[in-house]
Every structure is written in C-alpha cells, then in structure tokens.
Amino acid sequence: MTARIDTTLIIGLGLIGGSLARALRSSGFSRRVLGFGHREASLARGVELGVIDDYSLDLEQALAAADLVVIATPTLVAAQMLERVLPLLKARDSMPIVTDVASVKGNLQQAAVATWGAMPPRLILGHPIAGSERSGVEASRADLFVSHRVILTPVPENDLEALSLVRDMWHRTGAEVVDMSVAAHDAVLAATSHLPHMLAYALVDALAQSPLGDDIFRFAAGGFRDFTRIASSDPVMWRDIAIANRSALLKAIDQFSEHLAQLRDAVATEDAESMLQTFSRAKQARDEFATMLQARSQAADQHLAEPK
C-alpha cells in the first residue's frame, strides 16, 4: 500500500505516541516515523522495539523533516510544546499538519490562539479515548485504538485537507472518529474520565491512610480491584489533566458530591425506596453500557481478523 504521508514526527514517545507510531508503521500510513523527546533512552528503546525508524533530540531539525507532527506529551507539556512548535513552523513555506492526543482540549486551543493569533488552519486537535493505567513506550501496542473512539475538535478556521488527513490517520489505526466542540469535549471527558480517576485516587489514598489500611487491601474483593485499577495511572499525567480541565472537573465533582450526599441521606435515614431507585437506575445504565462494550469488542476482533 502506498503511504498517505512521507514522514510523521511523534513528540513524546510514551504509551499513546508509541502506540500511534506502531499503528502508523504497521498500516503503512506513514513511510517513516520519527521520534522527538527529552529522554534519549526511551527514544533509543523505541528504535530497538521497532516503534519508530529514527529519532532526534533537536526539535528544529526534527520538525524540518516532518509532514505530520503529533504531540503526545502530558497535557500541560503539550500546551508548552505548541508554544514552541508553532512559531518554528510559521516561518516555513509549507506548514506540516499538526495534531495531538492530549486528554484536555481547551488549554491547547488557548495556547494555540495566544501563540498564532487565531486557530492555525493546519492544527487539528484530537483525543483517542483509548489507553490504560500503564505508561511509557514499553507499554505501547499497535492495536490500542482498534474499535475505540477518537474525538476531533475541528473549528471553522481549519484547513479541510488537514482535517481529512488526521481523520484518515485515525481510521487507519482502526478507530472510529467523531467530531465535537472543544467545550463539549472537555465537559464530557470531565464527567466520564477525569471524575472517575479523581474518585479512584481519592478512595485508594483515603483507605491507604486509614488505620485499617493493611487489612482493607488484604481482604479487598474483585469490586475494589475493578473500581480502583485506574488509581495506578501516572500521577504526572493526571495532575496535568486536573489543572488543565479545572473548571469542567470542578463542576463534575460538585454534581457528583450532591448525588453522593443524597445517597448518604438515604443510608442515614434507612430510606430503602430511594436506595433501591438509585441502585436500579444505575444497574440498568451500567448493563446497557456493558452491552455496548461487548459489541465494540466483537467489532475489534473482526477488525483484527480482516486481512490487511
């Protein structure tokens, strides 16, 4: 298959950048994939593992070779990266397409507009809703995005050719692409991803610090394991997300706290009817979600079984 693009540069070769690099190489979307980062050891490991073709520790040199740039660093670093990268690209005759994978979009849009004066036409912000509690290039996988959603947040200023290329890139990883506004993205992700991570971290931290700490972990059942898996996620990544999505996350925490307070009241007053209503509503919603997950997993198996 002929490559859709010649050289892709991945800035930040960790779980997501490494997984995208693998998928772009194995699907033949990009003829060459380069890495740029601040830790030479993980870039060299990326070459050794066959994740990237080569790497550079010089940002200007790396950008000069790139037709497509993907920023895959932690969220706050991604904003700083845009502030460094955009002025270097503005000086070029033909600007490469730039995209990202960060979990929050509002701070990146703000950084881009502040640096460029408006949204740069060839900057397409994006976010794959796929990953895990693991991090680093060693954890990267070519099939990480198969049958998962990727949200793009295009704006009217965006160049349609750039948007179409970023859409194609994600399709070639096996993902399903949906468009959303930046504000809707940050509100939805605050509720469905950022809030659950805050709850998991808070619960594990509270229990670990309680006098019963050791016993609690010794006798914890599967439910505790399922609920708290994401508390093993990278603390730096989640600190960045909490800061970058502060206002939407605060709203989600406040709404949830109100709900929890109502449940507390029901427990305190032995309001059996109210508890039953809450638990039944939640069970129905979770069962429907499980059916959706099952359909997605079947679609992923089918995609992986298809000849490439």
Ligand X SMILES: O=C(O)C(=O)Cc1ccc(O)cc1
- In the complex, least distance from residue 229 CB atom to ligand X, rounded to whole angstroms: 7
Scan residues 117-136 and list those touching ligand NAI (CB under 6 A). Answer: 127-128, 131-132, 135-136
- Say how far apart CA 263 and CA 269 lie, in whole Å: 10
Among 24, 68, 70, 72, binds ligand NAI (CB under 6 A): 72
Hey, what are 189's tokens?
Answer: 């992700």
Which listed option, ligand X, ligand NAI, none, makes contact with residue 75 (CB within 5 to 8 Å by class)? Answer: ligand NAI
Among 4, 14, 62, 89, binds ligand NAI (CB under 6 A): 14
- In the complex, least distance from residue 189 CB atom to ligand NAI, rounded to whole angstroms: 10
242 binds ligand NAI (CB under 6 A): no
Which residue, 122 or 194, has its beta carbon nearer to ligand X?
Answer: 194
User: How many amino acids of this chain bind ligand NAI (CB under 6 A)?
Assistant: 28
Residue type, 90: K
Name every residue whose Cβ is closer than 8 Å to that of residue 88 and which is 6 or more positions away in sequence. 59, 60, 63
33 binds ligand NAI (CB under 6 A): no
Which residue, 41 or 221, has its beta carbon nearer to ligand NAI?
Answer: 41
Q: Which stretch in 75-83, 88-96, 118-126, 293-301 sits in contact with ligand NAI by CB under 6 A?
A: 75-83
Q: Which stretches does DSSP call E strand in the chain?
A: 5-11, 30-36, 54-56, 68-71, 97-100, 123-124, 126-128, 149-152, 176-179
Among 5, 13, 34, 86, binds ligand NAI (CB under 6 A): 13
Name every residue whose Cβ is closer than 8 Å to that of residue 43 and which is 6 or more positions away in sequence. 13, 35, 36, 37, 52, 55, 57
Q: Count helices and strands (H / E) in the chain.
A: 13, 9
Beta bridge partners of 9: 34, 69
Could you give the angle at the alpha carbon of 127 between the alpha carbons of 125 and 129, nearest 5°? 165
Among 5, 9, 10, 15, binds ligand NAI (CB under 6 A): 15
Which listed option, ligand NAI, ligand X, none, makes contact with residue 245 (CB within 5 to 8 Å by class)? Answer: none
Scan residues 165-204 and list those touching ligand NAI (CB under 6 A). Answer: none
237 binds ligand NAI (CB under 6 A): yes
Which listed option, ligand X, ligand NAI, none, makes contact with residue 20 (CB within 5 to 8 Å by class)? Answer: none
- Say how far apart CA 14 and CA 140 lie, in whole Å: 7
Q: Which stretches does DSSP call E strand in 37-155?
A: 54-56, 68-71, 97-100, 123-124, 126-128, 149-152
Q: What does the binding site for ligand X look like in residue numbers (CB under 6 A)?
A: 103, 129, 131-133, 193, 230
* Nearest one of 180, 189, 188, 175 to 153, comparing CA atoms: 180
Residue 98 has phi, psi (to 5 degrees) of -120, 135
Which residue, 127 or 172, has its beta carbon nearer to ligand NAI?
Answer: 127
Among 79, 102, 163, 252, binds ligand NAI (CB under 6 A): 102
